[in-house]
Amino acid sequence: MPASPPDTHVDALLDWYAQVARDLPWRRTTDPYAILVSEVMLQQTQVARVIERYEAWLERWPTVEALAAAPLGDVLTAWGGLGYNRRARALWEAARAVARDGWPDDLTRLPGVGPYTAAAVGSFAFGRDELAIDTNARRVYGRWGFTPERGSAALNQAVMELGATVCRAHVAHCDACPIVACASRGMEVVRRPRAKRVRFEDTDRYARGRVLAAVAGREPWPDYLGAERIARALDGLAADGLIKREGDHTSLP
């Protein structure tokens, strides 16, 4: 695969993005804290669900110092409904690290920040010439047959937008793609057979979410889950530091 796309392809993509980019709140800022919040919230959560929660979060905790000073219990309660509550704890821990030591050059040193999130914050907040490859970008580059070695913030945003709205996993709208020389243009998207899916309500993640919501006082105690699932959820939440257990009493940290 070539190391970098032709300039004409990049120009066409950026022109397209300038015309069709969605107006998302985290695209209107270069504040590294706000961008980190958006990236953590967007992990495995749809954009439409995140927008309102993101804006409410920043209204409550507008700075990294404000989040760092918040009780973890309040943070977990505010995160309720976004799923994967360990993300909320990691975000809070990252805020505490930044409030104490400042933003590190190597952003992966922050709790919960992996290579993609570090590259995204580095690119969108600090203007670094880094390639941020999320699931959408990886798919787009794979279909194009080329990938850049580095990427500007504009290029990263444009590729992610293309993957989210045009070059989608199961339906590629090639006629709407600005890259007319794409190596996969017009090819049928092969759909892999999906494995039998377990109902979300039957998963440990669902049980943990209901138990944590009950501990936070947002929902009634989920007796319908059964004693075994509740016990397993409590053990997992306690091990992740998302709840405190003192004898028979359970509370948020």
Residues recognised as catalytic: 39
- Check if the beta carbon of residue 139 is closer than 8 Å to that of residue 167: yes
**Would you state the structure tokens that stand for residue 82, as one six-digit string?**
């976004």
Residues 6+ apart with CB under 8 A from 121: 32, 35, 36, 39, 107, 113
* Max CA separation in the chain (angstroms): 66
